[in-house]
Structure 1
């Protein structure tokens, strides 16, 4: 009987360890994605501004970058998404 209690406890502990690790992994991935979006926004902003307070009219940096990134990484890097990244950095 003691063996079953130990086995049950072991299974519960193992499940808890796994669940905690999974939750931490998701949080870690979420944090890394937030950093990625912020850094992309920062880099786009810097490229557009070239040290100026306002970007030159007609700069198509975001559109061109989106075309190149979407080809390799998919729709998560569309023009709209990159504009959100830039706005995230600015905010």
Structure 2
């Protein structure tokens, strides 16, 4: 009887772990797509409307970050919005990487450019 209970526990435990991993992958993919294709590109498109808009773009980014941070937390601070803007010019997204990985890669790329 003990072996059966242990087998049941291990089986259920494995199902839960696999489900959690699947949920994480789906959530990560959704966040990456949101940051990359939607928010980042939206910011870039807004800022690329001419020289006058470029100056307004910096104000817009700061103002947008303040409002989003109040609504959704520090995930949307000005630094992260800049990262999303930089991220939007990537050719492809690897869903195996998390947003944290991409932020580190963007920081590294920006340090090489400067």
**What TM-score bracket applies, with the shorter chain setting the length?**
0.7 to 0.9
Q: Give CA deviations for 1:11-55 in whole Å, capped at 9, x if unaligned.
A: 2111110111111112222112211211110111111123x6x77
Q: Give the TM-score, by structure 1 length.
A: 0.80
Q: Secondary structure in 1 aligned to 2:10?
A: helix
In structure 2, the partner of 1:13 is: 11
Runs of 4+ in structure 1 displaced over 2 angstroms?
A: 3-8, 54-57
Q: Secondary structure in 2 aligned to 1:56?
A: helix
RMSD of Structure 2 on Structure 1 (CA): 1.9
Q: How many residues align?
A: 87
Which consecutive residues of structure 2, in runs of 5 or more, have no partner in the other structure?
Answer: 91-114
Q: Which has the larger radius of gyration?
A: 1
